[in-house]
Amino acid sequence: MTVPAAYAMVGTSPVRAAIRRDLLPRLGSWLLAPHLELPPDAVRLGTGRGAAYRLVLPGDVRAVLRLYRRGGVLARVVRETYLGLRPRPLRELVLTDEVRRRGVAAAEVLAARVEGNVAYRGALLTAEVPDATTLGEALRLASDAPARAKLAAATGRAVGKLHAAGVFHADLNVSNILIRPGPEVVLVDFDRARLTSGPLAPRARRRNLARLTRSLAKLDPSGRLAGETERAAFAAAYAGAMHAPCAS
């Protein structure tokens, strides 16, 4: 698989990695070790499947390492191993780079590691989004209804830009939408994302929004955090972003 020019593909079977070129001297030996060791001060994050860690690497590189883990029924049999000739970490790096090129606010991938060949394990290293919390936590912490409406509008704009850019996020949920002060929205986890040459078709948009709605309903079944006002703010901002010019 060809990686973007800003990254170097290094290593040989069974361990190889795509690393942002300027980070090769700092990260190369660590990512190409036979067994990937977490730094002693790594902090496990509570989102996802429990396989993400916040790290501070040499040169004060602040990052999040996600170890690929299966979900669902199959995870009971095989948790870490995947099969395929196009490793998911490398594919996610390529997809995320293209998503960012299209103007979507997505966390930058710093490196992707693959251990194995047809059967492999993987890891993805992304730049930490500073001062960020998940959308779910941001809604809980919002001081009042106007603050929640601002969060909803910011999220609507971000998702609208995502869809206008032709990106289908395979796991659009409240944990993969990060909120920075402002509020500013940054999207993460483009594993299994799909790209189209133009804006997403209405059916694909509805599917993606339905996934986000289900995620929100699990967080807030009573509608206390995201009621009619917040949903209206989201919808208006989403529609505006869908009709705005998109970077390419």
Q: Which parts of 24-108 are beta strand (E)?
A: 43-44, 52-57, 61-67, 82-83
| Of residues 51, 124, 63, the one with CA closest to residue 89 | 124
| Of residues 223, 222, 236, 220, the one with CA closest to residue 150 | 236
Two tokens at 100?
């960012």
Helices (DSSP H) in 54-144: which residue ranges?
88-101, 135-141
DSSP three-state, residue 198: coil
Whole-number Å distance between alpha carbons of 76 and 71:
8
User: Which residues, 6+ apart, have CB-to-CB distance to 24 below 8 Å?
Assistant: 8, 10
Does residue 87 have a cis bond before it (omega within 30 degrees)?
no
Whole-number Å distance between alpha carbons of 173 and 193:
13
Catalytic residues: 171
